[in-house]
Amino acid sequence: MKAISIIKPGGPEALQLVQKDKPIPKMGEVLIRVKAAGINRPDIAQRKGRYPAPKDAPADIPGLEVAGIVEQVGENVSEKVIGQEICALISGGGYAEYVCAPWKQCLPVPAGATLEEAASLPETFFTVWNNVFDIGKFTSGETVLIHGGSSGIGVTAIQIVKAMGGKVVVTAGTDEKCQACIDLGADLAINYKTQDFEQEVKNSGSIEGVDIVLDMIGGEYTPKNIALMNPFGRIVMINAMKGKDANVDLIQIMKKRLVLTGSTLRPQTIEYKGKIADKLREKIWPFFHEKIKPVIFKTFPLAEASAAHELLESSNHIGKLLLVNS
């Protein structure tokens, strides 16, 4: 099969099209003929040598989400699923014509979505559900602040939180991106390059504090997040793009009885991820295509993975980027 390999840690040019052996599904897995693979920031970290693949994933082939057709099954998976169109969360190996995935981490293509669109869903939907709902304990009526509102995580979080009855505040880097977030349902969008998001929320008149922060920025954002929190608020970290160190007002955390937490999804067990898949299938998939839709910015042929990484790193996009097999 054709696959994209990280020849050596480095820039986008490190991604090269190579020939690899087609993988064989192990117990509990299915072999997927990949139609499209989503591109995510952890792929960039892996390419740079900062985020090694777990032992059960190909060391040199990035890619954490795919959509395609089940071609073969391993032990303990019914042959009845062969031929089904699915999307799947994987630990790596998605930038290829074929990949194996645990059946527990597979989901049907949502109603009204194409296979390409479905490839944009697993990584961000699993991540948002895990952090906002399972860890963040979201309940209907709460307000969620989402940093990076126009990212893949952001456009997913906006739609899920709104569908589940919440209010959404986002930050984004341009007025165009802010408007795109409003169009997706955000109640307030703040251009962080021209506005102070803490002051904008406090002065909005429509947002009375924040109950949950989904933060991929870290660093200097952390004290501002704490200042905006309502009592019993939860700050959930999923990245630290502006730095892992922050000044934290411990007195405010105590007074407001806040929770400051976070997670990484990739190292978690198949059983853990399978439970998230079950919840998405039950609670979120029925909202397609009425309240939730995939947001695709651009697709690239598999061979142009380096160009796709360049675009992702530029942040000149809104929504998801995909690699597509012909």
CATH code of the domain occupying 125-262? 3.40.50.720
Decide if 265 contacts 90 (C-beta within 8 A).
no
- In eight-state DSSP terms, residue 303 is G
Token pair belonging to 288: 């397609």
Candidates 1.10.260.40, 3.40.720.10, 3.90.180.10, 3.10.129.10; CATH matching 2-121+266-324: 3.90.180.10
Decide if 215 contacts 149 (C-beta within 8 A).
no
Res. 11: pLDDT tops 90: yes
SS3 284: helix
Confidence band, pLDDT 50/70/90 cuts, at residue 320: very high
Report pLDDT for 326.
86
CA 296 to CA 125: how far, in whole Å?
Answer: 14
Res. 305: pLDDT tops 90: yes
Pairing relation of β-strands 15-19 and 106-108? unpaired
Pairing relation of β-strands 106-108 and 143-147? unpaired
pLDDT tens-digit map of 75-131: 999 999 999 999 999 999 999 999 999 999 999 999 999 999 999 999 999 999 999
CA 262 to CA 265: how far, in whole Å?
Answer: 10
Residue spans per domain, the chain: 2-121+266-324, 125-262
What is the average pLDDT across 202-228?
A: 96
CA 296 to CA 113: how far, in whole Å?
Answer: 12
pLDDT tens-digit map of 242-254: 999 999 999 999 9
Pairing relation of β-strands 15-19 and 29-39? unpaired
Give the predicted TM-score (pTM) of the model.
Answer: 0.96
